[in-house]
Structure 1
Amino acid sequence: MRRRALSDLSDLPLTYAEVGATAGPLPAGYHHVHESAAIGHGRTRFEEAAAAVMRWGMLRGAGARVEATSEVAAVGSEVIVTLGPVSVPCRVVYVLDDPDHRGFAYGTLPGHAETGEELFAVRYDAADDTVYAEVTAFSRHGAWWSRLAGPLTSLVQHVVSKRYVRAV
């Protein structure tokens, strides 16, 4: 599989139809992931974590190398995420910029082993002053080798999602 250059991504279509579905009920026919953990308390902690997430901090903090078309995630930003020997191309499909919920979701592009979408976010719960890191995703195999690896790829996705949450 040829590694794509960041400059080659702008004309590529997303590899799935349910764009934006991590914002609501996850679509049927996909593997679903939702990881969430309390990461601190207070508005200051929320703002710090939100700033980190928007600058690809969940990905980098989990050990991924990130090459992106923007320093801060924005709709249309293209990104190549490399974790170990695997590099995957994605595009930011929406951004959350609410007072108590911030983050972004990206979708898969051709060359990614999976098809689907992943949301990286932080949420502030004013009721108990707690800040949560969250990862929500839906995916299915998009390459022959990910289908062949079957359950292993699902396990890897869960492990990496936990790393993303701990990274913030």
Structure 2
Amino acid sequence: MSRTQIREERWSPEPGGWRVWRRQVYLGSGHAFWEQSAAALLHGEVKTRSGFRISTQDKVRSGAKPQIIVPVGPASIHEPVEVVDVVECGNLAGFAYRTLPGHPVCGEEAFILRRMGPAVFLKIRSLTAASDRWTWRSVFWLLLGAQRFIRWRYLRVMRQRTS
């Protein structure tokens, strides 16, 4: 079980500098909506439609180590990650990844779609701490602000995905 799953109920900084966040939102309803949303999520569209590029456009799979690329003006930031879990069964679809050395932050992020009757919900969970690299650690407070904005984008694009 990943740290994100263990600590999903906590919201504030924990000892060691870990910050835990989660949010669940209603996206829409119906079988077609579920199918489209699950396919989009499992192909990484929550990231790509939020402005990121991913080194592979394949369906997410456990053990994969894609590079997430963040365009910043003429430059780009590479975020190495490893997909640690993928679920696609019944009324659940989603994935979780952990950051690898060199990522601007240290932690995990999970995106889980849940179907309850006709209703479709998206839950995003994250566990974040400062990077192991001093260059990123020195701007951690800026990264936390960017993270809040990106989470808002994740929720927005998944709502718009099948509207």
How high is the TM-score relative to the length of structure 1?
A: 0.79
Q: Which amino acid aligns with 1:58?
A: V
**Structure 1 vs Structure 2 CA RMSD:** 1.8
The alpha-carbon deviation at position 146 of structure 1 amounts to 2.9
1:162 correspondence with 2:149: no
Match in the other structure for 1:25: 7
Aligned to 1:92: 83
Count, aligned residues: 147
Name the CA distance, whole Å, in 2 between partners of 1:145 and 1:37: 34
Equivalent residue number for residue 122 of structure 1: 113
Gap runs ≥5 in structure 1: 1-18
Aligned partners of 1:35 and 1:161 also within 8 Å: no
Task: Please report how far the alpha carbon of residue 155 of structure 1 lies from its aligned counterpart in structure 2 after TM superposition.
Answer: 1.5
Tell me what 1:73 maps to: 60
State the SS of the aligned residue for 2:97.
Answer: strand
Q: Which residue of 2 aligns with 1:15?
A: none
Taking only the aligned residue pairs, the percentage that are identical comes to 25
Secondary structure at the aligned position of 1:62 is classed as coil
Structure with the bigger RCO (C-alpha within 8 Å, sep 6+) is 1
The answer to whether the 8 Å contact 1:36/1:165 transfers is no
Is contact 2:21–2:125 with CA below 8 Å preserved after alignment?
yes
* 2:97 and 2:110 in contact (8 A); partners too: yes
Gaps of 5+ in 2: 159-163
Match of 2:128 among 139, 158, 168: 139
Partner of 1:51: 39
Task: Give 4+ residue runs of structure 1 displaced > 6 Å after superposition.
Answer: none
The answer for the alignment partner of 2:161 in structure 1 is: none
- What do the CA deviations read for 1:30-70 (whole angstroms, capped 9, x no partner)? 111223322211122112101111001100110111113x7
Say which is worse superposed, 49-58 or 95-104, in terms of deviation.
Answer: 95-104
Could you tell me the TM-score, scaled by structure 2's length?
Answer: 0.81
- Quote the Cα distance in structure 2 between the aligned partners of 1:124 and 1:45: 10
